[in-house]
Structure 1
């Protein structure tokens, strides 16, 4: 007796349809799972057997072979549980086989038969829709996330008993709610942050406005407490909303990373600020058999803020070189390669020295000159060469109180100017595949767009070795953003 069900294997953001075959044959009672399964998936045999028994059905008391095809594709995760159980029950003639045709099943089973949420529902449903499937079965708590994909009927189930009843056309029993332990609390930074909260720092506000308009990378430097982090946290509020294709792409990455999309698509540019103790794998992405997205992919189409950038390991900072240029990151493993989008806007902040007081008017630096030099060299030259705008923060003195009493422009006002600048760039770059000045290639800048006036300053910097060829393109990009 044989039957099959369908699920999805995720390689990066790319989903591949997996056929789950179940065969009940003659032999000693045992369950064999084949098809390059990882540890979490290999343990599905015990989870599924217990869930079937606790739901009131019988696990086959003979040789049961479960095959995940294609067998050469590595498969990770626990979201295959529903498809495995559906195939086994169909082979045992508990549910009709024809009800599984055109249906993709995604979800993890508890020992009591409850269906638990899993990662990557949105990209998996997108892959199922592209492959021609018309119905998906997902955990009930993630039905809203799956419904973001058009053209697919979504069935949300809370238990295995509900799934069996739905496929057999019987009344659907109620399921106990699934409690997810360790669910992240609400992020207090989700509240709107206004640029008007920043006192003074007019030059820094102008720098972030230009950077937001052209999607340029930023470097903040200055002593502690002058507002570097405060300004960086308010940059996402200046950016326009994501378009529908961008929102789908960003939401798919966040779904794969384990974020909850119950509120719908992510329509605002994301903001990621990893701690300086983060590893290369957590920043770029990584894993043993199947690499997971890192902080740079979670910041796709948004802001990646590295506070206290010199404190990050050198390997972490240098790992950003290729993603900054290509907008993607490819993570190779022995069995498969995963590719994730990583077109983020990099914002770094640093102190002038370990104590933070070097070159600060009215302050005394206690660091030896060698320590100051080593601290500045922790960010390599190739990374600095990719920074478009550098801004120096200075502490406010006597004018602090007067500036605090003055009304400054809000994020809404500055964001409107950024939106208008983005529209001008879109008209200028229409048909090129680029959207902002920060993405435009050097040859296009020099050959297709008129060169700005005052290039003598740039020529002098190049002749003195203070500006590289990439730096020349960087100056032209910023000039077009200002214009």
Structure 2
């Protein structure tokens, strides 16, 4: 007898329907076809053991399992459950009249307990798109899949529960979870607030500009000056995630298996802070079975690279293209996968190996040329892609112990949101651009017009600092953002002057 069940394969952040055909007929062997990898082939032993544990049997006949379409490689152990249910139906040990109306996924243990899967959310989205009635999957992934409405989500703990639901013996009530209410309730919950930061007003101002225009930023300062603390609070002043952004971000974390048992729609912009020993593959994504890297997990949020010169140069260089294109492409012999990588890069570094170059109180003990060699660990092309260079100085004792309450993240965020609204209106005819940082050279020239006094100031700065053409564009973009925060239609000379001061690393003689 022939039985059909349906599963799904995840490539990149999207899922595709897989038809699992099971035919039980004359013969004695088990065959699996349709480009299964080793983990899929090994399902025979797991399925046989799980069925036996629950008083079913593996047919002692010829069993052919076909995973269609046959030209797409099937990877992972999540096909165990649909294969097992297909075998039971094809061998007439059970009758499942509603079997073809469900997408079914789940890895079986030897006693029939289901283990969680990766990519439940994109699979759930594809199931609704394909018109399926529901999605049967491990209970641990049910809340994640329930983000998608108009689809019955059946979470099961064992294969026995799946069997009894499908044959009508013990139907399971679909999980109902109003993720959107939870999402909107969590939007204004802030864990790390700028109100907790005493002093550092100039750094907060730079962070506000970065958030308002989506600009990349690097902080240079001695140990203990507060670089990491300030970076962690940047995501709290970014505009709240839209529902579309939240869904895209949650899909990436679902594919990477980062949502956990209580997976729900991500309500806050992600903040990723990989260690400096990370490999280039772990940062941008890839591997034997391609997975999203840190830059994709930071999509719609912040990627923080602490102690930037300590990262391997090859790791930093692979970020150059994703920073420009806002996506990363992983190419293999038979498949090419795109992962979104629309993140804000925030980096921090000491000014020298000892950490005290340009310190107002402590003396630098680094030898001649050491500071320059240390800075040269970060390539010029990468620094050119960072819009704001900010010097962080230590906070004085009086500032640290002051009773004055600092401005809260919600207040700063409101100004950022207002500036982003201006940019949204400005770029309404160019849907691929959302903020000032994403402007290309042509749009920058059209949008960032400056008067004669501004041109003279910028010319002097370019000649004195030896800035590159890309740095010229960065200054114009940052000054446009400063003007947006001020509610000014045109870029004024004071906006340009403030933008120029955020190119610390370009100043002649800065590194001695």
What TM-score do you get using the length of structure 1 for normalisation? 0.92
Task: Answer with 95-104 or 221-230: which moved more.
Answer: 95-104
Deviation of residue 448 (structure 1)? 4.7
SS in structure 2 at match of 1:156: strand
SS in structure 2 at match of 1:252: helix
- Residues in 2 aligned to 1:224 and 1:281: alpha-carbon distance in whole angstroms: 29
Equivalent pairs, count: 465
Alignment of 1:121-136 (within 5 A): 121-136=120-135
User: Which residue matches 1:180?
Assistant: none
User: Which residue matches 1:140?
Assistant: 139
The CA deviation string for residues 263-288 of structure 1, in whole angstroms up to 9 with x for no partner, is 52112111000001111111111211
User: Which residue matches 1:177?
Assistant: none
Alignment of 1:192-341 (within 5 A): 192-260=191-259, 262=262, 264-288=264-288, 290-341=289-340
Task: Answer with 233-242 or 218-227: which moved more.
Answer: 233-242
Distance 1:429 1:451, change over 3 A: farther
- Residues in 2 aligned to 1:153 and 1:387: alpha-carbon distance in whole angstroms: 46
User: Which residue matches 1:182?
Assistant: none
User: Which residue matches 1:178?
Assistant: none
Equivalent pair of 1:426/1:436 in contact (CA under 8 Å): yes
Say whether 1:474 aligns with 2:474: yes
Deviation of residue 191 (structure 1)? 6.8
User: Which residue matches 2:369?
Assistant: 370
SS in structure 2 at match of 1:454: helix
Deviation of residue 365 (structure 1)? 2.0
Equivalent pair of 1:283/1:295 in contact (CA under 8 Å): yes
Deviation of residue 143 (structure 1)? 1.6
What TM-score do you get using the length of structure 2 for normalisation? 0.87
User: Which residue matches 2:162?
Assistant: 163
- Residues in 1 aligned to 2:109 and 2:134: alpha-carbon distance in whole angstroms: 23
Structure 2: 5+ residue stretches without partners: 174-188, 484-512
SS in structure 1 at match of 2:304: strand
Deviation of residue 381 (structure 1)? 0.8
SS in structure 2 at match of 1:408: coil
SS in structure 2 at match of 1:8: strand
Task: Answer with 202-211 or 65-74: which moved more.
Answer: 65-74
- Residues in 2 aligned to 1:16 and 1:382: alpha-carbon distance in whole angstroms: 39
Deviation of residue 4 (structure 1)? 1.5
Task: Answer with 81-90 or 315-324: which moved more.
Answer: 81-90
User: Which residue matches 1:350?
Assistant: 349
Alignment of 1:11-160 (within 5 A): 11-28=11-28, 30-96=29-95, 98-160=97-159
Equivalent pair of 1:310/1:379 in contact (CA under 8 Å): yes
Task: Answer with 87-96 or 158-167: which moved more.
Answer: 87-96
User: Which residue matches 1:418?
Assistant: 416
- Residues in 1 aligned to 2:460 and 2:132: alpha-carbon distance in whole angstroms: 61
Deviation of residue 401 (structure 1)? 4.6
The CA deviation string for residues 85-106 of structure 1, in whole angstroms up to 9 with x for no partner, is 1211121123335422231111
Structure 1: 5+ residue stretches without partners: 175-189
Deviation of residue 455 (structure 1)? 2.5
- Residues in 1 aligned to 2:406 and 2:338: alpha-carbon distance in whole angstroms: 43
SS in structure 2 at match of 1:317: helix
- Residues in 2 aligned to 1:173 and 1:239: alpha-carbon distance in whole angstroms: 41
Task: Answer with 291-300 or 10-19: which moved more.
Answer: 10-19
SS in structure 2 at match of 1:455: helix
User: Which residue matches 1:183?
Assistant: none
Could you say what the CA RMSD is over the residues aligned between the two structures, in angstroms? 2.0
Equivalent pair of 2:12/2:290 in contact (CA under 8 Å): yes
Distance 1:202 1:165, change over 3 A: same
- Residues in 1 aligned to 2:190 and 2:407: alpha-carbon distance in whole angstroms: 19
